[in-house]
Structure 1
Amino acid sequence: MLLTCGNEEVLKLWDVDTGNCRHTFNSSVKRVINSCAWFPDSRKIVCGSINPDNRIYTCDLEGNELEVWEGERMPKISDLAVTPDGHRLISICSNREIWIREFPRGKEWVIPEEHSITSLSLSRDGKFLIVNLNSEEIHLWNVIDVSTIPDTFRGHKQKMYVIRSCFGGSNCLFIASGSEDSQRHSSVPIQVLSGHSMTVNCVSWNPMRPHMLASASDDRTIRIWMANKRPRKN
Structure 2
Amino acid sequence: MNFEDENFELREIQRLEGHTDKVWSVAWKPATGINGVSAVFASCSGDKTVRIWEEDSTGSFQCQAVLEETHTRTVRSCAWSPSGKFLATASFDATTAIWENVGVDFECVSTLEGHDNEVKSVSWNNSGSLLATCGRDKSVWIWEVLPGNEFDCVSVLLGHTQDVKMVQWNPSMDTLFSCSYDNTIKVWIEDGDSDDWHCIQTLGESNSGHTSTVWSLSFDASGDKMVSCSDDLTIKVWTSKMQEGDQNAPWEHVCTLSGYHDRTIFSVHWSREGIIASGAADDAICLFVENNDNEVEGPSFKLLLKKEKAHEMDVNSVQWNSGDRRLLASASDDGTVKIWELVRLSGQKLL
Normalised by the size of structure 2, how large is the TM-score? Answer: 0.56
Matched, 1:64 2:154: no
Q: In the superposition, relative to structure 1, how do residues 157 and 24 fare at CA in structure 2: closer, same or farther (>3 Å)?
A: farther
Matched, 1:176 2:277: yes
Shift in Å, 1:183:
2.1
On the 8 A contact 1:86/1:103 being kept in 2, the answer is: no
**Residue 135 of structure 1 aligns with which residue?**
232
Q: Give the Cα–Cα distance (whole angstroms) in 1 for the partners of residues 187 and 118 of structure 2.
A: 22
On the 8 A contact 2:325/2:341 being kept in 1, the answer is: no
Structure 1 runs not aligned, ≥5 long: none
On the 8 A contact 1:121/1:131 being kept in 2, the answer is: yes
Matched, 1:108 2:200: yes
Q: Give the Cα–Cα distance (whole angstroms) in 1 for the partners of residues 319 and 115 of structure 2.
A: 34
Shift in Å, 1:85:
2.5
Residue 261 of structure 2: SS of its match in structure 1? coil
**Residue 318 of structure 2 aligns with which residue?**
203
Identify the structure with bigger relative contact order (alpha carbons < 8 Å, sequence gap 6+): 2
Shift in Å, 1:26:
4.1
Normalised by the size of structure 1, how large is the TM-score? Answer: 0.80
**Residue 4 of structure 1 aligns with which residue?**
89
Q: In the superposition, relative to structure 1, how do residues 183 and 48 fare at CA in structure 2: closer, same or farther (>3 Å)?
A: closer
**Residue 81 of structure 1 aligns with which residue?**
168
Matched, 1:164 2:267: yes
Q: In the superposition, relative to structure 1, how do residues 91 and 213 fare at CA in structure 2: closer, same or farther (>3 Å)?
A: same
Shift in Å, 1:123:
2.0
Shift in Å, 1:94:
5.2
Larger mean Cα displacement after TM superposition, 128-137 or 24-33: 24-33
Overall identity of the aligned pairs, in %: 18
Q: Give the Cα–Cα distance (whole angstroms) in 2 for the partners of residues 179 and 28 of structure 1.
A: 31
**Residue 48 of structure 1 aligns with which residue?**
134
Give the letter for the 1:67 counterpart. Answer: V
Q: Give the Cα–Cα distance (whole angstroms) in 2 for the partners of residues 27 and 198 of structure 1.
A: 32
**Residue 24 of structure 1 aligns with which residue?**
110
Q: Give the Cα–Cα distance (whole angstroms) in 1 for the partners of residues 174 and 182 of structure 2.
A: 23
Q: Give the Cα–Cα distance (whole angstroms) in 2 for the partners of residues 109 and 20 of structure 1.
A: 38
Give the letter for the 1:130 counterpart. Answer: V
Q: Give the Cα–Cα distance (whole angstroms) in 2 for the partners of residues 39 and 197 of structure 1.
A: 34
Matched, 1:185 2:310: no
Q: In the superposition, relative to structure 1, how do residues 226 and 13 fare at CA in structure 2: closer, same or farther (>3 Å)?
A: same
Of structures 1 and 2, the larger Rg is shown by 2
Q: In the superposition, relative to structure 1, how do residues 63 and 25 fare at CA in structure 2: closer, same or farther (>3 Å)?
A: farther
Q: Give the Cα–Cα distance (whole angstroms) in 1 for the partners of residues 347 and 128 of structure 2.
A: 41
Give the letter for the 1:190 counterpart. Answer: L
CA deviation vs aligned residue, 1:150-187 (integer Å, no higher than 9, x gap): 3112312324xx6101111xx43221111223221112
Q: Give the Cα–Cα distance (whole angstroms) in 2 for the partners of residues 70 and 203 of structure 1.
A: 27
Q: Give the Cα–Cα distance (whole angstroms) in 2 for the partners of residues 125 and 64 of structure 1.
A: 28
**Residue 222 of structure 1 aligns with which residue?**
337
Give the letter for the 1:36 counterpart. Answer: V
**Residue 125 of structure 2 aligns with which residue?**
39
**1:114-129 paired onto structure 2 within 5 Å:** 114-129=211-226
Give the letter for the 1:214 counterpart. Answer: A
On the 8 A contact 1:13/1:22 being kept in 2, the answer is: yes
Q: Give the Cα–Cα distance (whole angstroms) in 2 for the partners of residues 29 and 223 of structure 1.
A: 32
Shift in Å, 1:92:
1.8
What is the number of residues matched between the two proteins?
226
